[in-house]
Amino acid sequence: MESELLRYERLAEDLSGIISSGNLRPGERLPSIRRLSRDRRLSVSTVVQALRHLEQRGLIEARPQAGYFVRHVTPRRASPAARPTPVEPVPVDVSQRLIRVLLGGVQPGVAPLSAAMPASSLLPVAALQRLYSSVVRRHARLLEGHSHIHMDDPRLVRQLVLRSMGWAGPLAANEFVITNSCTEALGLCLRAVTRPGDTVAVESPGYYLMLQLLEVLGLRALEIPTDPHTGMSVEALDLATRQGKVAACLLVPNASNPLGSIMPDENKRRLARLTAERGVAVIEDDVYGDLYFGNERPWPVKAFDQTGNVMLCSSFSKCLSPALRVGFVAGGRYRAQLALHKTITSGATNPISQLVLAEYLESSACERHLRALRRTYERQVDAMRAAIARHFPAATRLTEPQGGFVLWIELPEEIDATALYERALAAGVAYVPGELFSASGMYRNCLRLNCGNPHTPEIEDAVRRLGRLIGG
């Protein structure tokens, strides 16, 4: 009689064969444990043993309360390397080109691969809708209007303090300013510590919205080389700030946009110490901090701040809902200036939305949602990487993000992603050309893709069409 060991090995090999032949494709669900047990006349424990064996081989993955699914396995591709950047600061001029690109990406029939936005199906929209109804019913006076003077909801501030507990000690409640978005928080910080004509150190490649803010405020950008794995070069920042000509440093150290890198803790510690010693204010965007792919949430630079020099900005637009329009900044020693600028420019943030967010953060549903969302984003990034490996030229390099849901792609040197954009749009595919992530116009052979949507056959086909255009 066949032993249980041979039975589980036989089942594992049969399933492995079905996967390798393509009859079960990446992302597809395997038959349930109960069905495999019944159809193969095996005990449940034998089936579970076989599935765990395949999981250890990296062929399948378990999803809580959903079953086992075929994993997306991406052939190894080289990662882009950090590039040398101009040694002098430059004025910024990206807004008009960027607006055209982003408007093109939302045209009907265009695959949603440009703007870094999550699919609404991944967000707790229904739960937030119920909370809005409940909050308005229980707190009807919130609809009567409120003072223009900047006010923060104490319950929301309390939740933000509690969420910082794991960062080497909680942030102080009196550091926080609630804003209308992370973008507003970043703008308030820049207004508080710079004047028109000042120089701001930025990542290269760096998030285009930050470059837009510098442009609007009349600031110059000094690009700092940024590694796809470890983030902004602290050594290059050291050299750039020795002459005392840099007013602020603006960066995304956790799951950076567009590289997906996470700066090591030691680098964050060095950056916090270096900038404090040289009087360079740090403005940190941590909007992707909760969307890490590892086992532990990465600490922000703010965790290593000993002098109140770091301003931590974030929101819940990438994980709960962009429509909430609630962000925040923990302003350190700049908090008073931030609150003043907030009062003058936009007044108090919507009190109903503040309370809705506070109540959702208080619930256990929030952490369950974030755990599931991190796994989903990681799968979607893996699926996009696998699709690029199938359809793009062999010399293509792509990042291995450690969080978030965007992918940075470096094409062969002779390909101009900016020149190719209009043809791609006509073919129903949008992306953000790499030059828009650089104040000096670098990275013309690069592009960024959004992985915030489930990897459907339509997305796969869009990647195939884009790869065909790139390959000529």
- List the one residue out of 265, 250, 168, 151 whose CA is nearest residue 204: 250
Q: What is the structure's pLDDT at 41?
A: 87
pLDDT digits (tens, 9 = 90+) for 349-387: 999 999 999 999 999 999 999 999 999 999 999 999 999
Q: Name the pTM for this structure.
A: 0.84
Q: Are 234 and 203 in contact (CB under 8 A)?
A: no
Q: What is the mean pLDDT of the chain?
A: 92
- Phi and psi at residue 40, to the nearest 5°: -95, 0
Band of residue 1 on the pLDDT scale cut at 50, 70, 90: very low
Identify the weakest region by mean pLDDT among 54-68, 240-254, 281-295: 54-68
Q: Mind listing the pLDDT tens digit for each residue in 373-423?
A: 999 999 999 999 999 999 999 999 999 999 999 999 999 999 999 999 999
Main-chain dihedrals φ then ψ at residue 283, nearest 5 degrees: -115, 110
Give me the pLDDT at residue 141, please. Answer: 80
User: C-alpha 112: how far from its chain's center?
Assistant: 16
Cα(470)–Cα(391) distance, integer angstroms: 9
Q: What percentage of the chain exceeds 90 in pLDDT?
A: 73
Q: How far apart are CA 416 and CA 441, in angstroms?
A: 12
Q: Indicate the helix (H) or strand (E) that contains 10.
A: helix 4-20
What integer is the mean pLDDT of 37-43? 88
* DSSP of 210-279: HHHHHHHTT-EEEEEEEETTTEE-HHHHHHHTTTS---EEEE--BS-TTT--B--HHHHHHHHHHHHHHT
Element (H, E) at 128: helix 125-138
Q: In whole angstroms, what is the distance from residue 190 CA to residue 178 CA? A: 16
The pLDDT value recorded for residue 146 is 60
Q: Which residues contact 166 (CB under 8 A, 6 or more apart)?
A: 297, 299
What pLDDT was estimated at residue 64? 79
> What residue type is 192 in one-letter code?
A
pLDDT for res 150: 65
What percent of the chain clears pLDDT 70, i.e. is strictly above it?
Answer: 95
In 81-169, the DSSP E strands lie at 90-91
Alpha-carbon separation of residue 433 from 161, 226, 383, 466 (angstroms): 38, 18, 21, 13
Rounded Cα gap, residues 328 and 347, in angstroms: 14
312: three-class secondary structure by DSSP: strand
Work out whether the CA dihedral 121, 122, 125, 127 comes out positive or negative. Answer: positive
Mean pLDDT of 202-212: 97
**How many other C-beta atoms can be found within 10 angstroms of the C-beta atom of residue 45?**
12
Please report, in angstroms and rounded to a whole number, the separation of the first and last CA atoms in the chain.
59
More confident residue, 377 or 5: 377
Q: How far apart are CA 392 and CA 220, in angstroms?
A: 36
User: Bigger pLDDT: 210 or 169?
Assistant: 210
- Give the CA radius of gyration of the chain: 24
- pLDDT at 336 exceeding the cut of 60: yes
Residue-wise pLDDT tens digits, 90-146: 999 998 999 999 898 888 999 989 989 999 999 999 999 999 999 988 888 887 766
Give dist(CA 399, CA 382) in Å, integer: 11
> Are 185 and 335 within 8 A, CB to CB?
no
Residue 444: pLDDT band with limits 50, 70, 90: very high
In degrees and rounded to multiples of 5, residue 153 shows phi and psi of: -75, 125
Give the model's pLDDT for residue 2: 47
Q: To which H or E segment does residue 100 belong?
A: helix 95-104
DSSP state of 30: P
CB-count burial class (<10 Å; 0-12, 13-18, 19+) for 408: buried
pLDDT for 323 equals 93
**pLDDT-derived band of residue 19, with 50, 70 and 90 as boundaries?**
confident
Please tell me the distance from the alpha carbon of residue 442 to that of residue 456, in angstroms, as a whole number.
32
- Per-residue pLDDT, averaged over 329-358, amounts to 94
- In this prediction, residue 147 carries a pLDDT of 57
Residue that has been written with the tokens 């796969």 in this structure: 460
